[in-house]
Structure 1
Amino acid sequence: MNFSSLASRLDNIAPFHVMELAKMATALEHQGRDIIHMGIGEPDFTAPPLVVEAATAAMQAGKMQYTSATGLLALRIAISEHYQQVYGLNIAPSRIVITAGASAALLLACAALVEKGSEVLMPDPSYPCNRHFVAAFDGTAKMIPSGPAERFQLSDAAVRANWGEATRGVLLASPSNPTGTSILTSELEKIVATVRAYQGFTIVDEIYQGLTYDAAPFSALSLGDDIIVINSFSKYFNMTGWRLGWLVLPEALVAPIEKLAQNLFICASSIAQHAAIACFAPASIAIYEARKAEFKERRDFLVPALIALGFKVPVVPDGAFYVYADCSDLSDDADRLTKEILNEVGVSVVSGLDFGPFTASSYIRLSYATSMDNLCEAVRRLAIFFGKETVIAP
C-alpha cells in the first residue's frame, strides 16, 4: 500500500502548535537552558496520598482486569454523590460513563452524534481538539468569533444567528481553555433553551469546573437531563497521566455510548478507576481545595503583573489556570512573540494560533499551573524582555 495516500479526514486535522512549542522548549533545556514552562495546561500538583495508596492496593490485590465499558459501579456512585454534595444535583450512577480521559468522552459523544455533513457550533477561541473530534467523524466545526464582550464564549444570539440546516448542536466549555472564562449562567440557560427548540444537542465540557474561583459551584446538568456533560480527573483532581474522565448522559444515550465504548476502548484503566474512588475521600478533597486556593493566589498575582508589563487582560479568568492576554500593543504577531520570548528569556507561553483564527495573532495563553516562585521569575524575565523596570512581587 502507498501510505502517502492517507484518509482525507487527516486534511482537516491541524498540527497542535502548543505541543510543537513544548518540543522547542525541551530542546533548549537539553542545551542547558533553564526554561519556565507556562505553555502546557497541566497542574504542577500530582495525585494526593490516598489516591496513590488506592492504586498500589489495587495492583497488590490483582484488581487489574477489564471493568465494564461504563466503568466501576463504585466509582460511578462516588461521582454521583459528588454531584449531590457539591452541586445539589441528583445524578443517577446509571447516567455516568467512565472514559479514558475527557478526550475519550468527547470522542464517544461525537461518534454517537456527529455524521458526515453535521455541523457543530463552538466559539473561536476554543480548545483545538474539540473541532478535531468533530472532524474525525466527518462533521464540520463552525467556529464563531467570540471576543471579550462575550467572555470569549458562545452567546445565545450567536447560536441563533449561525444555526443552519446542517447544524446538529453546540460544543461548549465552561470554564474554557484557553481563556479561563465561564459562560454566565443566564446566558447558558438561553443557549440550552435555543438548542432544545432546534432539537439539537448541547455538550458542555466541564473539566475545569472544579477550578472555579469567583462564584458558587454550578453545573450545566442543573439545566435539564438532556444536557451532555464531559468531566475529567486531570485538572481539579491532578491526575493527567492517569487518563480518566467521565460522561454524564441522558438515559437514552447510555446504551449507544456503552456499545461504542465496548468496541473502541473496552474500558478505561482499571487501576486508575480503583484509585480515583479515593479522590472523593474528605482528606483528598481537603487537599484539592487547598490547591485550588493556591491556583487563585497565582491568578491574582499574574493578571496585574501582565497588565503592568503592557498586556491587556480584557476578561479576568474566573476558572481553570490560564490567562488569555491581548498582546497587540506589544507585537503584531503573537506566534513570533512567543518564540522570541522562549529563545531570549526562557519562558514558554503559547500564542492563540491553536485556538482559532479570530485571536490567533493578537493573544497569548499563559498557564499559571506552576509554582509561585516560577511565576515570579517568569515575570522578572518578561520585564527584562519588554524593557520594563518594575516587577510586581506577590
Structure 2
Amino acid sequence: MNHASEPLVRLASRVNAIEPFYVMELMKEAQALERAGRDVIHMSIGEPDFTAPEPVTRAAADALTRGVTQYTNALGITPLREAIARHYRDVFGLNIEPERIVVTAGASAALLLACMALVDHGDEVLMPDPCYPCNRHFVSAADGKPVLIPSGPAERFQLTAEQVEAYWGPATRGVLLASPSNPTGTSIEPAELRRIVDTVRTRGGFTIVDEIYQGLSYDAKPVSALSFGEDVVTVNSFSKYFNMTGWRLGWLVVPRSMIAAVEKLSQNLFICASALAQHAALACFEPATIAIYEARRLEFKRRRDYIVPALRSLGFGVPVVPDGAFYVYADTTTVRHPAAGDSDALTHSMLHDAGVVLVPGADFGFHAPERYIRLSYATAFSKLEEAVQRLGSLFSR
C-alpha cells in the first residue's frame, strides 16, 4: 500500500500542547538491550513491584462469578463510596459524605474530570516545576494554560503561598498541586498547604490536590487537603498504596456544588469505572488487607532509607529527602562522570554502560531539568543493591 498518497488528517491544535514522554525513548533502548541479552535494572517506572493482595484478587474472582460486571452508576457503586468515606474517618479523622466521592477510571480520569469541570478556555492554572507531566497536559486538554512556577530545594520542590500570590494574574483560575509529589517524593507542609488554600480562596479560585501517594508517607502522619475546607478538590487512586495500577481505579472528592457537573461529565466521557475493579476494591479496606498494605509501606520506607544515603555515596546530591511516594529527585552535578550536570546524557550512559534505567528531568518541567534525575525505588531491595554496585563501578572508572 502506498501511504504517501493518503490524505493527511488535520489534528486538533490541543495535540501540539501535549508533549510525549521523553523517557519512553529511553525505555525503548532498554528493551532493545534486553532483547539482545543484557540484564537491565529498571528504576524508572512509577509502579509498585507489589501487586494486589490475595483478598482483593479473591474479591474480584467472586464478583466475576456472581456476574456483577455490568455498568454501574457514573459516580461509582455506593458500598465503595461508603468504604472510602470510612477510610477518611479512620485515617484522617474526617467526616466526608459518601455523596461527595466520585469513583473514577484511575486518577487520570479524576484529574481530567476535575479540569474539565473547572477550567475554561484560556484559564491559567498554577503548578510547581518540577511536576508530573500529565498534570499540565490535563489542563491543556481542557483548553487551559498551565503555568509552571520554578520550585527548587528551598521550596521542597513544591509551591508556596508566597509564590501563588506572586504569580496570580488576571487569567489565573486556580492551582493544581500534588502532595507527595511525582517526581520528587516531597510533601507540602500542612501549614503551608493551608496558607495556599486560603490564598486561592480569597481570590475566588479552585485548589486541586493530587493525593495519590499520600498512603505512602513515611515521616509523619499525613494530612489531607480536605482538612482545609469543603471547597478543596482532591484526587486519589487505588494504584499506588493499594497496588492496583492496571485495574484503573481512582476517586475524586468534590464540593457538593460540583457533584452534578462531574456526574454529567463522567456519564458522557467514561460511563463508569470498571465494575469488576470497584467490587474488588471493597476488599482493600478490610483490616487484614490494610495490614498487608502497611507492611508494604514500611518496606518502601526501608528502601528509601537505603537508597538516599547510597545515592549520596555515589556522588549524587539529594537536596530534599523524600518523605513519601517512591521517588528520589537527585542532583547530577556532583557525580564523577563526564556527563555530570547533563541528566539526559547521564541516563543514557547509566543504561548502556551500567544497565540501570533512571529518568532524566526533561519530562517533569523546564526549570533546570538537565540537572536532575528521578529514581524510582519501587523495585526489590536486592535490585536496588545491585544497581548501586553497578553505578559505583561506572563512576569509579
Please give the range of the TM-score, normalised by the shorter of the 2 chains: over 0.9
Q: 2:378 aligns with which of 369, 372, 385?
A: 369
What CA distance in whole angstroms lies between the structure 2 residues aligned with 1:3 and 1:185? 51
Post-superposition offset of 1:3: 3.5
- Is 1:254 the counterpart of 2:259 in the alignment? yes
Answering whether residue 200 of structure 2 is matched by residue 195 of structure 1, we say yes
Number of aligned residue pairs: 388
Amino acid at match of 2:67: G
| Aligned-residue CA RMSD (Å) | 0.9
Counterpart amino acid of 1:304? P
**Aligned counterparts, 1:269-348, within 5 A:** 269-330=274-335, 331-348=340-357
> 1:257 is paired with a residue of what secondary structure?
helix
Cα distance in 2 between the residues matched to 1:3 and 1:119: 32
Which secondary structure state, in structure 1, belongs to the residue aligned with residue 148 of structure 2? strand
Letter in 1 for 2:324: G
Identity %: 65
- For 1:313, what is the secondary structure of its paired residue? coil
- Which residue pairs with 2:26 in the alignment? 21
CA contact (8 A) 1:178 1:365 kept: yes
Equivalent-residue separation in structure 2 for 1:74 and 1:210 (angstroms): 21
1:346 Cα offset (Å): 0.6
**Partner SS, residue 367 of structure 2:** helix
CA offset at residue 24 of structure 1? Answer: 2.0
Report the secondary structure of 1:64's partner residue.
coil
Pair 1:384 & 2:393 matched = yes
- TM-score w.r.t. the length of structure 2 is 0.97
The question of 1:67 aligning with 2:72 is answered yes
Q: What amino acid does structure 2 have at the position aligned with 1:351?
A: P
Q: Which residue of 2 aligns with 1:392?
A: none
Q: How far did 1:324 drift? A: 0.4
Q: How does 1:1-394 map to 2 (within 5 A)?
A: 2-330=7-335, 331-387=340-396
CA separation in 2, counterparts of 1:21 and 1:139? 30
Change (3 A) 1:208 1:112: same
After TM superposition, give the deviation of residue 20 of structure 1 in Å: 2.6
**Aligned mates of 2:162, 2:55 — CA distance in 1:** 46
Query: Is contact 1:22-1:40 (8 Å) kept?
Result: no
SS in 1 for 2:175: strand
> Do the aligned partners of 1:338 and 1:351 also contact (CA within 8 Å) in 2?
yes
Identify which range, 323-332 or 78-87, moves more after superposition. 323-332
Please give the TM-score of this superposition, normalised by the length of structure 1. Answer: 0.97
State the alpha-carbon separation in 1 of the partners of residues 268 and 214 from structure 2. Answer: 30
What is the CA distance between 1:224 and its match in structure 2?
A: 0.5
Question: Are the equivalent residues in 2 in contact too, given 1:195–1:201 (CA < 8 A)?
Answer: yes
Cα distance in structure 2, aligned partners of 1:2 and 1:243 = 36
Distance in 2, matches of 1:84 and 1:17, equals 40
| Corresponding letter in the other structure for 1:344 | D
Q: Distance in 2 between matches of 1:77 and 1:13?
A: 36
Runs (4+) of structure 1 exceeding 6 A deviation are: none
Structure 2 counterpart of 1:214, one-letter code: D
Residue 16 of structure 1: how far off its partner (Å) = 0.6
How far apart are the structure 2 equivalents of 1:176 and 1:200? 22
Displacement after TM superposition at 1:5 (Å): 2.5
Q: CA deviation at 1:4?
A: 4.3
Stretches of structure 1 lacking an aligned partner (at least 5 in a row): 389-394
Give 2:334's aligned amino acid: D
Counterparts of 1:20 and 1:205 in 2: how far apart (Å)? 27
Q: How far apart in 2 are the matches of 1:385 and 1:351?
A: 18
2: CA distance, partners of 1:55 / 1:302: 35
